[in-house]
Amino acid sequence: MEKFFIIANSQKDEGFKTAKQIETYLKEKGKSCILRAEQPDVKDISNHYTDVRQIPQDVECIIVLGGDGTLLQAARDVVDRQIPLLGINLGTLGYLAEIDHSSIEGALNHLILDEYTIEKRMMLQGKVYQAGRMIAEDVALNDIVIGREGPLRVTRFHNYVNGEFLNSYTADGIIIATATGSTGYSLSAGGPIVSPETNIMIMTPVAPHTLNTRSVIFPAEDEITVEIGEGSWKGEAKAVVSFDGDTNVTMKTGDRVVIRRSEKDTQIVKISNISFLEVLRRKMKN
């Protein structure tokens, strides 16, 4: 690789100290490198975290400094560009950002020498419909969550797969996660851990009002539709759909969100020999 772009989370990399060190190191090796000193609280309305218009067309790799959350937002922003991402974790051990601070120089050398592999991670595309009209759409690498909004009252969710009715949940919400997202919110809600290379969708209810409700796993080719049912006392329910915990769209009774596999994947640069199982073991010790 010859041309790099750095996205740095200012909250994790104070003063962009690490980002500037990486920029200097790559330039000393004769490589092209541009630092984008992004701040999460300064967003363009058309972007989640990063203004992709500032990324040159010939960039071969985006180095993301921060953690899994930073990488998630960067992945959503650059999905149309299909640029490989290398995550460098400046916090605790991450599932996506696997390179820690002590391994940065070695990782950069591997990139320069083209000693790496690229993993393709499935993404989700969600479209929100109101009275038959699409009012919003977005993508997610981890999950799309449909949850109640407002007072602490449960909501009825009607679920369809490929147009066929599956079931209804009375719950606080429903998570539709990828395998990559299986170690996130879905796991906290009792969902299974799935190897991230697997192309599937996981449906996990959040605090369902039943004792026999479990996660359901579907093939990546399926289409899942979640319709907002009635609220408590058969009144109108309000809900919100969230894409990777960032973009939020308000919904109400009768609205639907249609979720399917995105046509484009996220490309993750893999350098470390640490397997997913090793990362999992370390995480489970915390």
Q: Which residues on adjacent β-strands are paired with residue 264? A: none
Distances (CA, A) of 264 to 81, 82, 161, 246, 259: 10, 8, 21, 19, 14
Q: Considering 41, 44, 68, 172, which one is annotated as catalytic? A: 68
Question: Is 10:40 a contact under the CB 8 Å cutoff?
Answer: yes
**Known catalytic membership, residue 68:** yes
Q: For 282, list phi and psi in degrees, rounded to 5.
A: -65, -40
Q: Which residues on adjacent β-strands are paired with residue 247? A: 243
Instruction: Catalogue the active-site residues.
Output: 68
